[in-house]
Amino acid sequence: MVIKFLTEPFVSSMGVDLGTANTIVCVKGEGLLIKEPSVVAVRKETGEVLKVGKEARKMLGRTPDSIMAVQPMEDGVIHDFEIAEKMLSYFINKAHQKKKVVKPRIVVCVPSEMTDVERRSVIDATLRAGAREAYLIEEAMAAAIGVGLPIQEAVGSMVVDIGGGTTEIAVISLGGIVTKRSVKIAGNKMDEAIVNYIKDEYNLVVGNRTAEEIKINLGSICKSNNDGVVDIRGRDLVEGLPKSIEIDAAEIKEVLMEPIQGIIKAVKLTLDQTPPELLSDILERGIVMVGGGALLTCLDELLSAEIDAPVYVAEDPLNCVANGTCKVLEELDDLKDILVTS
C-alpha cells in the first residue's frame, strides 16, 4: 500500500496508542485529547455498548450477569476484535466531537513483534471503526520519537518501553530499528504476581485493580527503601468471608523481582544482538526507559547496575509513545518511511 497525502479540507490525521491498559488519542494540530482505560462495558444479550474508558473500568469485577466489562487488548494485541472495533469507534467519535469531519487517517502504535495476522487485525479494526486510511508504527519507534532521540542520525539509540501488556526494547539508527525484542512481561504480569502471592501466602483473593494499587503505593526495588504498609481487603479462601490484612513494601519488592528479572534478561539479549559500533554508542549515551513500568522506583538504577551502562527515565514516560505518534502526524513527509502499512 502506498501512503497517500490527502488535502481535502476536512480530513484530519489521528494517532492512537492502543495499549493493553490505556488508549491515548491525539489529533494533528491539537495534541493529546483522550487518555482512558482500554475497557468496554457491553450488554451480553444485544452487544450494546454501555460504557467505554474510565466509566467502564469502574465496572470491572462488579457487573451483573447481563453485563460484561471487557478489556479487548491482551499482551499488546487485539484479543476481542468486535469489542476493540467498538472501542476505537467510540474514541474516534469522541475526538471529533462537534466537528464535521471526513473519515480520518489514523496511525496506530503496535508491538514490534506482532504477526502479520495480528497487524492485519489492527488495520481492519481501525478501518471498520471509521478510519479512511490506517497505518501502523512500532511502539518502540514512536517512543524514541516522543523522547526526542536522534533516530535519523548514524548513532545508536536504545529505548525500553514497559507498558501494560508488553515490554518493547529496540536499538534504533538511521531511521530504522536495528535490533528489537518484544516480551509479554510488563505491568499486568507484575499485578498478576502480586495477586498470586497474596493468594498463596495469605489465602486471600484480591482483584487485579487492588494489585495495581498495591504496586503503585508500595512498588519499589530500592535496596534501602522497604518502608510502607497498606491494608488490603479481599475474600478469605478458607471461610469465603471478607478479610483484611496488612502487607509491606519488602514483600512486594520480592514479588516484583521475578517479572523485573525477565525484563532485564530481555534487555541483555537485545544488547547481545546489537552490532559493536552501535553497542559502543549505547554504552556511552545510555538507555531511555518509558511507559508506566519505568515509574517503578529504582528500576533504572537496577538495570544500570546489571548492564553497566547509564539508564534514564524519560521526562513524561506515560505519554512518550502517544507524543511520538503526534510528532509523526505533524511530520509525515519526513517520517513516512518508518510507518508500517498493509
Residues 162 and 296 occupy one common structural domain: yes
Boundary of a domain, candidates 236, 255, 274: 255
Residues 285 and 177 occupy one common structural domain: yes
Boundary of a domain, candidates 255, 276, 294: 255
Residues 206 and 277 occupy one common structural domain: no
Low-confidence stretches of the chain (pLDDT < 70) are: 1-11, 98-102, 224-226, 332-336, 340-342
Residues 119 and 39 occupy one common structural domain: yes
- Structural domain total, the chain: 3
Residue 103 domain-assigned?
yes
Cβ-proximal residues to 261 (8 Å cutoff; 6+ apart), any chain? none
Residues 48 and 170 occupy one common structural domain: no
Residue 2 domain-assigned?
no
Residues 159 and 242 occupy one common structural domain: no
Residue 262 pLDDT: 95
pLDDT digits (tens, 9 = 90+) for 42-79: 998 888 889 999 999 888 878 888 999 988 888 777 88
Residue 99 pLDDT: 57
pTM of the model: 0.86
Residue 333 pLDDT: 66
Residue 9 pLDDT: 40
Residue 5 domain-assigned?
no
| Four-point Cα dihedral 165, 197, 211, 69, nearest 10 | 70
Residues 19 and 85 occupy one common structural domain: yes
User: What is the CATH classification number for the domain harbouring 282?
Assistant: 3.30.420.40
Residues 271 and 173 occupy one common structural domain: yes
User: What is the CATH classification number for the domain harbouring 223?
Assistant: 3.90.640.10
Residue 1 domain-assigned?
no
Residue 116 pLDDT: 85
Residue 100 pLDDT: 54
Residues 96 and 86 occupy one common structural domain: yes
Residue 74 domain-assigned?
yes
Residue 15 domain-assigned?
yes
Residues 34 and 154 occupy one common structural domain: no
Residue 180 domain-assigned?
yes
- 277: containing domain: 147-185+257-318
Residues 163 and 128 occupy one common structural domain: no
Residue 217 domain-assigned?
yes
Q: Comparing C-alpha atoms, which of 316, 327, 296 is closest to residue 35?
A: 316
Residues 230 and 83 occupy one common structural domain: no
